[in-house]
A and B are shown apart, each in its own frame.
Chain A
């Protein structure tokens, strides 16, 4: 097929006129914006062009201490004592204000993180608002959530979130914590602090009592200070398995509760009786959604041998139509890689894959000169023993294997330390149930992939994490059952 057409789409940039980004953002502690004790700042850049967007205060250990103290005070004096329905109303307010300012949030999310505006506009921001809306409603209904038991809040929650879905992850963390009566110190990722600071503005606007939500920016050391703080009662972390394990070790013996959403290397399995064209779309969504910066990405593709050739050729054709470029262009499918470090890591794996004998295919898109970019890529001729098959790349790189029998593909799908998600494509209902039972993973997408909803629990088996976020299950980590 010839997808190099005479008819090219003109740039269709999302308007950024209405977006205000300050030159400098401070810490959000006890309802106020304050500089860090050391007056230290780091810069956050636009990964699509490497331009500086803003300076952001870097929280020191002392700052984290201040934030925790504010959270503890707010917990003891106000939030845990408040009528739950009033608590819920505050959270509803947050949801509404995000909806009202949705486009502004979407633009900033794309500027700061590199993701296409189509995704920040249609997925990240609406889902973030929906999460607040969903959990707001739980605040005064907790007695119905856990039969036979009553709930008590845990206290101060320290929440550390990743850079792949900055606002959405903040929502995943904040909404259930607040609904159940906890107060929060949130640490956004170092490369994507801006939408969290915008959220802080909303929280002020909502007149949420000071100290209920505190936001401290910084890198690993800031996170560590938060994890180690003795007055933090619960840790919620989304990020790499490596850091997750470090957190587990750190909190060992302290009695702190914790939930971890860690890495993945999901199998996406295409059977010969699958709706193939839709499966190809599912493969695309599975691995190229958000540049592949998705912990539950369908990064290991298994195609039944009888249709492997067809599926791979359809997939390559489809990859040729993916538009890679300016994240703010409404037609962009694949935006910028989030950071230089991540780009280097992806390139390293692509290198390893080729050195180990994998055959690479990349779509023939033109990558911009400035900024961090990576073409959509796939490997064929790889097996379970290849590193690109075993390790989480967290980028737009797919590893394809074929299989013959159901037993074989189940064994291979589970042959990983991870267990976050999995995909099954077949037209046969009973096969779907068999496979979704056999795959050891927390989320199974049958004839779909990478779908999220606030009412749907999300979280992994094995080294992909511990605990669930979303849905009724997502309340559990934030309560003591009595």
Chain B
């Protein structure tokens, strides 16, 4: 018997709950470090990004109005589905250059991080909101709200855990996201999109693009309908570009400079706070 011809996967973008190819028709040839496999990855364009922002904006109000309980359940669901797809991520992570042991650890951490943030869904507002004792007959309270649409540049050096660590605090807080996957390790970001797609996450809440950071960074940080931009990396010029572009519409730049995402310190409610706004409401107390 001859060797079976295996069915190769096409790695596409994830926009508005669908898996389109890039509108530009361009692709990047991606080869693993051992040069055993060659994959065509979509080279997402600024128009793909634009479409993703439209989808994210459309989904924003519905997602932020979901109950915290529901968002927590959905994040937990992502963790569940991820657990069930361990094998596929093992393959992709090792293909991307991790050892088996490293891959296993990364998958474990990714799942645990999702569960961790799922648990924060109905707590961070409690912990970080308050009643302010103003010196007037008013009831005054402050609580957190999602900032809106968040564009994120995922870390390049750690793909699955990086994607999870960046996305989870954004979406658990009611934001919608457009994430640019790791350029050097794009495979599991798209497979992670499939996980999200099957986890009751509404269309448009998470959008994932692959492509070239050097090309897309400018657009991610300059789009006027994006409320915050999360950057993971260590390139001073890129950081300056992101921060400078943020000035166009006063978007909130969040910079994670050369962080070790497998460190437990890289999870926590303060990461959720990075893409939250504090709203304060006053009301008189009388009869």
How many Å from the CB of A131 to the closest CB on chain B?
12
- Beyond A149-B270, A248-B244, A252-B244, whether A448 also contacts B284 by CB under 8 A is yes
- Beyond A444-B282, A451-B138, A456-B140, whether A248 also contacts B132 by CB under 8 A is no
How many Å from the CB of B145 to the closest CB on chain A?
8
Distance of A456 Cα from B244 Cα, bound (Å): 30
Distance of A137 Cα from B149 Cα, bound (Å): 37
Instruction: Produce 1/0 per residue, B143-165, CB < 8 A to A.
Output: 00101100000000000000000
A33 within 8 A of B: no
Q: Are B277 and A432 within 8 A (Cβ)?
A: no
Q: Are A468 and B281 within 8 A (Cβ)?
A: no
B278 within 8 A of A: yes
**CB within 8 Å of A: which of B239-266?**
239-244, 246-250, 252
Q: Are A252 and B243 within 8 A (Cβ)?
A: yes
Q: Are A445 and B247 within 8 A (Cβ)?
A: no
A260 within 8 A of B: yes
**CB within 8 Å of B: which of A329-388?**
none
Distance of A455 Cα from B133 Cα, bound (Å): 6
Instruction: Produce 1/0 per residue, B82-120, CB < 8 A to A.
Output: 000000000000000000000000000000000000000
Distance of A436 Cα from B133 Cα, bound (Å): 19
Q: Chain A residues with Cβ under 8 A from B279's Cβ?
A: 436, 441-444
- We find that the number of chain B residues with CB closer than 8 angstroms to chain A is 39
B136 within 8 A of A: yes
Q: Chain B residues with Cβ under 8 A from A437's Cβ?
A: 145
Q: Chain B residues with Cβ under 8 A from A459's Cβ?
A: 278
Q: Chain A residues with Cβ under 8 A from B270's Cβ?
A: 146, 149, 481
Q: Are B282 and A443 within 8 A (Cβ)?
A: yes
Q: Are B277 and A253 within 8 A (Cβ)?
A: no
- Beyond A241-B250, A481-B270, whether A442 also contacts B277 by CB under 8 A is yes
Nearest residue (CB) in A for B245 is A252
Interface footprint category on A: 35 or more
Q: Are A253 and B239 within 8 A (Cβ)?
A: yes
How many Å from the CB of A107 to the closest CB on chain B?
24
- Beyond A462-B227, A466-B252, whether A248 also contacts B283 by CB under 8 A is no
A397 within 8 A of B: no
Q: Are B280 and A457 within 8 A (Cβ)?
A: yes
Q: Chain B residues with Cβ under 8 A from A260's Cβ?
A: 250
Distance of A203 Cα from B232 Cα, bound (Å): 43
Q: Are B239 and A442 within 8 A (Cβ)?
A: no
B26 within 8 A of A: no
A130 within 8 A of B: yes
Q: Are A249 and B247 within 8 A (Cβ)?
A: yes
Q: Are A457 and B142 within 8 A (Cβ)?
A: yes
Partner of B278, one of A147, A253, A464, A468: A468
How many Å from the CB of B78 to the closest CB on chain A?
24
How many Å from the CB of A426 to the closest CB on chain B?
11
Q: Chain A residues with Cβ under 8 A from B281's Cβ?
A: 436, 443-446
- Beyond A252-B247, A448-B138, A466-B250, whether A457 also contacts B132 by CB under 8 A is yes
Q: Are A245 and B138 within 8 A (Cβ)?
A: no
Distance of A473 Cα from B145 Cα, bound (Å): 14
Q: Are B278 and A446 within 8 A (Cβ)?
A: no
B233 within 8 A of A: no
Q: Chain B residues with Cβ under 8 A from A66's Cβ?
A: none
Q: Are A453 and B136 within 8 A (Cβ)?
A: yes
How many Å from the CB of B254 to the closest CB on chain A?
11
Q: Are B240 and A252 within 8 A (Cβ)?
A: yes
How many Å from the CB of B171 to the closest CB on chain A?
19
Distance of A249 Cα from B243 Cα, bound (Å): 7
Q: Are A455 and B134 within 8 A (Cβ)?
A: yes
Q: Are A147 and B127 within 8 A (Cβ)?
A: yes
Q: Are B284 and A447 within 8 A (Cβ)?
A: yes
Distance of A465 Cα from B147 Cα, bound (Å): 12
Partner of A432, one of B239, B240, B249, B283: B283
Distance of A241 Cα from B249 Cα, bound (Å): 9
How many Å from the CB of A117 to the closest CB on chain B?
21
Q: Chain B residues with Cβ under 8 A from A252's Cβ?
A: 239-244, 246-247
Distance of A9 Cα from B132 Cα, bound (Å): 39
Q: Are A456 and B132 within 8 A (Cβ)?
A: yes
Q: Chain B residues with Cβ under 8 A from A456's Cβ?
A: 132, 134, 140, 142, 280, 282
B7 within 8 A of A: no
Q: Are B247 and A458 within 8 A (Cβ)?
A: no
Q: Are A443 and B240 within 8 A (Cβ)?
A: no
Instruction: Produce 1/0 per residue, A227-267, CB < 8 A to B.
Output: 00000000000000100111011011100000010100000
Q: Chain B residues with Cβ under 8 A from A251's Cβ?
A: 243
B202 within 8 A of A: no
Q: Chain A residues with Cβ under 8 A from B268's Cβ?
A: 148
Q: Chain A residues with Cβ under 8 A from B252's Cβ?
A: 466
| A residues neighboring B (CB under 8 Å) | 130, 146-149, 241, 244-246, 248-249, 251-253, 260, 262, 417, 432, 436-437, 440-448, 451, 453, 455-459, 461-466, 468, 471-473, 481
> Can you show 25 pairs from A to B with CB atoms below 8 A apart?
A130-B135, A146-B270, A241-B250, A246-B247, A248-B250, A249-B244, A253-B240, A436-B281, A437-B145, A440-B148, A441-B279, A442-B279, A446-B283, A448-B282, A455-B132, A455-B133, A455-B140, A456-B282, A457-B132, A457-B278, A457-B280, A461-B277, A465-B250, A466-B252, A473-B278
| B residues neighboring A (CB under 8 Å) | 127, 130, 132-136, 138, 140, 142, 145, 147-148, 227, 236-237, 239-244, 246-250, 252, 268-270, 277-284
> Known contacts A447-B284, A455-B132, A456-B280; can you find 10 more A-B pairs with CB under 8 A?
A130-B135, A253-B237, A436-B279, A443-B281, A444-B280, A451-B134, A456-B140, A457-B142, A459-B278, A465-B250
